[in-house]
Amino acid sequence: MSATRLLLTLPLTAAFGYMSLVGLIYVSQRTLLYPGTSATPAPEPSAWGENVYIDTPDGETLHALYSRGESDKPCVLLFFGNGDRADSYGFLAQALAVRGIGLLAISYRGYPGSTGSPSEDGLLEDGLAAYDWLSQRSKGGIVVLGRSLGTGIAVNTAGQRPAAGMILVSAYLSVLSVAQTRYPFYPVALLIKDSFRSDLKIAKVRQPKLFIHGRLDDSIPLSSGEALYRIAPGPKQMLVDDGSGHNDIWNEGTVGDVIHFVESLKRDASSGNRG
């Protein structure tokens, strides 16, 4: 092969390879974003709490685990991370139960025990359906708790429903911005299907907010969570765990911070009623 022909062929080969990778990312992006999807049925007996099922307005049925709290105490509505499972949160359910606080953890559509396939629109619908289901059973108020991917669902839910407060653990400005940081050489904005723009929705969340983030998080950088915190309206508080990353953020201190925040909402409400 002549040098001239080689010079012409190499750029074409590189371009073809690049476009092939772009196409692969586009086709497989939901597999990458929702690694926890599975046709596995809900475990029997339940790992904690009780197995419950929630119907969504668009015809899906969500499996969830529900630990009932005391009637006058808040209940936490949990939206977990993309590779997580509801049955992994027995530690949180147990810690909350000691304080009389309930917990509802839903399994998103397409995740174990639930019907359907995940998408941004679908998961946001799941969040609202779960809140509406819980509001018929919990009279002590609902605190929305999002973890990682679930923070986008929490922001959307708290912006559209009268939650007592919101907790975001490992929050992002948007999935779009995180993907752009991780894949700087690809036209992510043109390819992404599920962008989870918390940055465009956080202004609607006027309730008290607690942000928790690990300084060592290499999946969702602290800078992304801090950026969302800066544009969030008050009242708000941010706690940074210097020794934690992304997958080890749940520790005794984090659980204690969650409980303290939830109970402070009840105290503030009681003080307001007395006034």
Bridge partners, 239 (sequence order):
212
Where is mean pLDDT largest: 9-18, 135-144, 264-273?
Answer: 135-144
Is 1 inside any structural domain? Answer: no
Q: What is the pLDDT of residues 61-83, one digit of tens each?
A: 999 999 999 989 999 999 999 99
What is residue 270's predicted lDDT score, i.e. its pLDDT? 45
Is 124 inside any structural domain? Answer: yes
Is 5 inside any structural domain? Answer: no
Is 122 inside any structural domain? Answer: yes
What is residue 8's predicted lDDT score, i.e. its pLDDT? 55
Is 24 inside any structural domain? Answer: no
Is 83 inside any structural domain? Answer: yes
What is residue 22's predicted lDDT score, i.e. its pLDDT? 57
CA distance 126 to 131: 9
What is residue 150's predicted lDDT score, i.e. its pLDDT? 98
Helical axes 90-98 vs 252-274, angle rounded to 10°: 40
- Supply φ then ψ for residue 144, to 5 degrees: -85, 130
What is residue 81's predicted lDDT score, i.e. its pLDDT? 96
Please report, for the domain that includes residue 115, its CATH number.
3.40.50.1820
**Full DSSP string of the chain:** --HHHHHHHHHHHHHHHHHHHHHHHHHHHHHHH-TT---PPPPSS-SSSEEEEEE-TTS-EEEEEEE---TTS-EEEEE--TT--GGGGHHHHHHHHHTT-EEEEE--TTSTT--S---HHHHHHHHHHHHHHHHTT--S-EEEEEETTHHHHHHHHHHHS--SEEEEES--S-HHHHHHHH-TTS-HHHH-S----GGGTGGG--S-EEEEEETT-SSS-HHHHHHHHHHSPSSEEEEEETT--STT--SHHHHHHHHHHHHHHHHHHHHHHH-
What is residue 186's predicted lDDT score, i.e. its pLDDT? 72
What is residue 177's predicted lDDT score, i.e. its pLDDT? 94
Is 14 inside any structural domain? Answer: no
Is the pLDDT at 191 greater than 90? The verdict is no
Helical axes 222-231 vs 175-182, angle rounded to 10°: 150
Q: What is the pLDDT of residues 203-232, one digit of tens each?
A: 999 999 999 999 999 999 999 999 999 999
What is residue 275's predicted lDDT score, i.e. its pLDDT? 40
What is residue 167's predicted lDDT score, i.e. its pLDDT? 98
What is residue 24's predicted lDDT score, i.e. its pLDDT? 57
Indicate yes or no: pTM above 0.85.
yes
Is 207 inside any structural domain? Answer: yes
Give residue 255's domain range: 34-274
Please count the structural domains in the chain. 1
More confident residue, 189 or 28: 189
More confident residue, 13 or 256: 256
